[in-house]
Amino acid sequence: MHELRSALVRLTVGQQPTEELPDLAARALAEGIDAPALRELTGLSRADVREARDLFLLAMEQLGADVPVSRWDAVRFWAAEIVNGALTPYEGARLIWFHGYLELDCPDELTPFVGLASEWEDDPAHRALYEQDILNEARQLIGQSA
């Protein structure tokens, strides 16, 4: 289900190619995840991009997933992924930087992710410290105590 939720967030921010959705649906079915729209989605060709998007969104609703409606939803999703270990702190911080901070006109709440990801890139000797700081920022962003 994680791959489906990640695709849903990427679709929300315009980073998920819709032509990949039928293959994604087929993998989910093979893993035992099932919904009527998901089954229908597997029968589409890669060229049916609009229908694939609509069916994917319907399948996610049928599966009970909260459909993100904004970039802020995506940012909170990535922060939660950092906290639960599904994304490395650096990967999550870069997603927040490029697909949150820059697209949301640079909100102050996301500035630490930009600085920490940049420091992580520039200072390999202290990456563990930056990763812990990113994790702490992610916890703070989603309102979770350390």
pLDDT at 47 over 90: no
According to the model, what pLDDT value does residue 144 have?
A: 66
- Mean pLDDT across the stretch 24-42? 95
Is 104's pLDDT higher than 90? no
Q: Is 48 within 8 Å of 21 (Cβ atoms)?
A: no
In this prediction, residues 34-63 reach a mean pLDDT of 92
Q: Give the pTM.
A: 0.75
Tokens at 6, concatenated = 């990640």
